[in-house]
Structure 1
Amino acid sequence: MARLCGYANGGGGLVHAEAAFLRRAASRFLIADPPESRNGIANWLNDQGHRTALGGLWRGETLARTLSNPRMAGLDSDGEPIEGFGETVLTPDEFLRLLRIFTDGATAAAAPRVAYEYLATQGIADCGSCGYDMSGARVNADAGPGYRCLPPTQTRKSCGKVRMNADRLESALAEEVLADILRPGVHEKLLRLQLDAAKEVVRLRAHVEGAEERFATLKSMRKSMLPQAYKAAEAATRDDLKACQARIRFLEQITSVPIADVHEIVAWWMSAPRASQRALVHLAVTKVHVLPSGGGRGHDPHGRIRIEWRTGLS
């Protein structure tokens, strides 16, 4: 059975660092009116670097379940004090107040929001400090969409220090991309890149259409191959097909952007689907570096981004 966060073992004995942040989390439920959302407080804990007893990220449900455990207040399952339990994370009064909050649904999840479709994810934007890709995320359940460099882990050497609101980053990026396209000479280069993408789509479609024949040829050789070699060749052929199909979908977005008439691009952008806007950004830039807010860059979103334009542009 997993250790209860805040305690060294089932019989008590505080882990003081964990008890401290659990008390702060409980106070955010108890003091605010109406109480903060479960997910909002869980995200706050994660942002502060606090983790569950198993080392995982906090979720609203996990936090509520932890604070609803009667041992948080040194009580048994019947609500009676456990003899000799020692110091507790919560007082019995705090525990009962939290139970009422959770039971009454005062912190129930808000109505589902329409999912936000980010413009500069999928490898477009990275952290200007550590180079890791930026992720679309909200600081808490009530915050607007934003970009963040994820906190570091054992396998991810990101810095977790750079954030930027989505409306600021995306507006600045769109302005710079559209302005660059309107500069003399750039439009023609984009048209050539789009033509190259269209040619690649034709080549990849032919490659996909030949997949059935490649699988049939491979199957005919099965008896002459070692089982492990056949499985590896079959997996590689299947992975190649999936990669080609994904590449075609991406390139088709680029080829569908109506950039033949440069003067219509701005009007098109205002009503274009997000996938098509992202395709135009992919066509124009290789990477958008999101810089920290220091150095006087905080108030001007253009000062927070540095764009690497595709070869031959800008």
Structure 2
Amino acid sequence: MGARLTGYASTGGLHPQEAKGLRIASSLLLDEEAPPKGEVVRTLNAKGFRTSRGSEWRTNVLMRTLLHPGMAGLDDDGNPIEGHEESVLTVDERNQLVAKYGPPADNEKEGAAPRPAYDYLLTNGLSGCGVCSCGMVGARVTGDGDPSYRCPPPRDGHASCGRIRMTADRLETAVGEQVVAELLRPGVREQLAQLQQDIKDEVSRLRLHVESAAKRFAELGDLYGRGLLVKAAFLAAQQATKQDLKESRVRLRLLEQVDGLDLGGVTDVVAWWNSAPQLSRRALVGLVAEVVYVLPSGHGPHDPHERINIVWRTAS
């Protein structure tokens, strides 16, 4: 078995200290006035950050790690890894690093350039299956197929139906058109400030909820240890708490992006949407919409608008 990828614990989930160091490095390298890579490495080592092997960072090791698709929760083909709880970097952050510093040498395949990862607009809770309400994931039907959204196939512990699929281009284009149309309605732009304040409040609540997870696990263990919970009830409660923590982390990461969105100087929403980076578009969708449900094809397979139902946010 090979060494684990720095930033992730061997039992799954993030390694908090390692992930923190990698995020610091990513932020420094993506800054407009980024210091030399060697200086970033010296900064990490001086702060006590180490690789998964406990070694000090070297420049080539740091760049190979940051450019690895697993940093963004992707497999080698650029598809989201199913069951992946939280990633060290967002897909957008990793794509920016690849664009700025080139693809990792380990990903280069003889005779063909590596396919760039697709940056899905509506994953991590922004889209849901219109049949079973489970979150949609990004995937390709085949290795060289078009990026698509799909409801995950049913499996133990996952109540998805696996019946709904839609290509990313059709879904994202239709959602973008409806989001822009919603923002052009009278009075909606004036509601954005209140929506952002609502999200800021939710971010604060979610951070506290995530930070208190260790206490909740400890309380469950204490109840079990004192014989107040039978084993089956303890394991079920523990699993439910893990799932809640996973979902809270995903939502927190999304809402943190939404919280930082600045539309104050935007006068032409259409032009802004057409030129904005995917991270900003995702934040805008998350600001105005709770979720985008993808419906069965039914009688309108040729019009993507017939296959989506957007649940819009309302200000408190």
TM-score normalised to structure 1 length: 0.49
Q: TM-score, normalised by structure 2?
A: 0.49
Larger CA Rg, structure 1 vs 2: 1
